[in-house]
Amino acid sequence: METIRTVELFAGVGGFRIGLESASDRFKVIWANQWEPSMREQYAFECYTAHFGSQKYHVCKDIAKAKIDVPDHDLLVGGFPCQDYSIMKKNSAGIKGTKGALWWQIDDILREKRPKYVLLENVDRLIRSPAKQSGRDFSIILRCLYEKGYAVEWRVINAADYGYAQRRRRTFIVAYHNQTEIFRNFAEAVCVHGLKSMHKHIMENGILAKAFPVQDYSRSYVESWIDELKYADISTVSRDQRVYLYNAGVMMNGRIYSVDVIPQQVEATPLKDILELGPVDEHFFLRTEDMPRWAYAKGAKCEKRQRRDGSQYYFSEGSVQFPESLEKPSRTMLTSESQVGRTSHVIQDPMTGRLRVLTPIECERLNGFPADWTDTGMPERMRYFCMGNALVVPLVKRIGDALLNVGMITQNGNGSRVCY
C-alpha cells in the first residue's frame, strides 16, 4: 500500500495527525510545524513532540521562515489560525489581519509544491468574512486554489450533528489538484451536466458528502464565478467580490455553486457521557467568593458603557444557561475555558451536586482526544487553551476515511494501487 506523504501545518497538539492516523496507517506525516509567536514557552509543540517524537521534521519555527524546508508531499493539512475570522473577536480583520494573513504562507507552499490534496479547517464564519464585505476572504482563498489548479469542496460541520458531544461548528475545506482522478471525473461531469453535477457532488458524490451525509437542502442556492473573466487578479477579488455563501459548496474551474444543506443527523452524545467517573479535585469546584463574578458573566445585561474616546453607549446581552445542561451536547469550547467568564462551561457535579468547571480530561474528551493527551508538563490553564484551539478529532478521521474511499486510491496499469 502506498504511503500518503502528509505535511501538517499549524499542528497544535496534533489533532489532524491523530485523526488521519486513526483512519489509516497509510497517512504518514513527513513534516510538521507548530509555533505560537505570542508565547515564550511552546507548550503545544512540546505536547506534539512528547507524543510523536523530537524529529528533525517536527519544526518549531515561524512558518514564514520554515516553509522553505517543506518537502514534496501528497496531502497538506492544517487548521490555520482563526482569530481574525472569529465572531469572538471584535472588529475581526479577516485575511488582512495578523493571524488571517497566514493564509498566504499556505498559498506559497501550494504554489511551490502543488500537493495532490489539501485539507484545511477554520471557524464557521470564514465563508462570510469580513462582515462589511461578505464572502471576500473565502473568495480570495478560492481564487488562490483555482489559480494553482485545484477544485474545492467546503462544508460547515457541527460536530453534534454527527453524534459528538460538542456543538462545535467549523468550516472544512477539501481541495484536489487537476492531476487527480476525482478532479478529472468531476470536471467532466460539470462539462456535461453543469450545475446539476455540482449539486450532486455536494449532496452525494464529493468527499465531504461521503464523510458527512446530508438528507436535504434548502431551495436557495448561489452561483458565481471566480475566474479571470470576472476578476483579473487577486487584488480585484479583494476589492470587488461580495457574495453570500451557504454552508456547503464546490468550485470547479472557477465556477462556484453553494447551497444550504441539512445534515443527516444522528443523536448527539450528551455532556454527561464525557464526564469523569468518580470524585474530581476540589480546585475544580466554584469558590464562594467567585460566585458574584460567575453570576454577572452568565447573566443578562443592559448597562451603560464608555468607549475609549469618552462617548457612551448601552451594552446588552441575554443570559446563558448556568449551569450547563448535562442532557445535551456542550457549547463550543474556547481558549478562555480556564477563566471565569460567560463562555466557560460550568456544570452541576453529578456526585456532589456542587457547581464546578470541566476538568482538562473532560475538555479533551469533548474534542475526541485521548485522556490526558495534554498532560505533558504544561500549566493547567494551557491544557484548556490548547483544547479551545483544537478540532474535533473524529471529524478528521471521517474525512480521512472518505479521502481513501473516494479520491486517493485507484488502479494503475499493472493492477497495483497508487496514490493520486
234, 238, 244, 247 alpha-carbon torsion, rounded to 10°: 60
Q: How far apart are CA 225 and CA 385, in angstroms?
A: 39
Look at residues 395, 274, 389, 334 and name the one whose alpha carbon lies nearest to residue 13.
389
The catalytic residues are: 82
Q: Are 233 and 223 in contact (CB under 8 A)?
A: no
Q: How far apart are CA 417 and CA 408, in angstroms?
A: 10
The CA distance from 208 to 21, in Å, is 18
Instruction: Provide DSSP, 50-93.
Output: HHH---TTEE-S-HHHHGGGPPP-SEEEE----TTT-TTSTT--
Residue type, 397: K
Look at residues 198, 206, 203 and name the one whose alpha carbon lies nearest to residue 216: 203
Residue 41: count of CB within 10 angstroms of its CB: 12
Residue entry with cell 484551539: 389
Residue type, 91: N
Instruction: Cell 489533532: give the residue.
Output: 15
Q: What is 278-290 written as a DSSP string?
A: S---GGGBPPGGG
Of 394, 387, 323, residue with least CA distance to 359: 387
What sign does the dihedral 383-384-388-391 (CA atoms) show?
positive
Q: How far apart are CA 354 and CA 279, in angstroms?
A: 12
In the DSSP assignment, the letter for residue 247 is S
Angle at 266 between CA 265 and CA 269, to 5 degrees: 125
Q: 251 near 225, Cβ under 8 Å? A: no
Other C-beta atoms lying within 10 Å of the C-beta of residue 363: 25
1, three cell numbers: 500500500
Rg, the chain, Cα only: 22
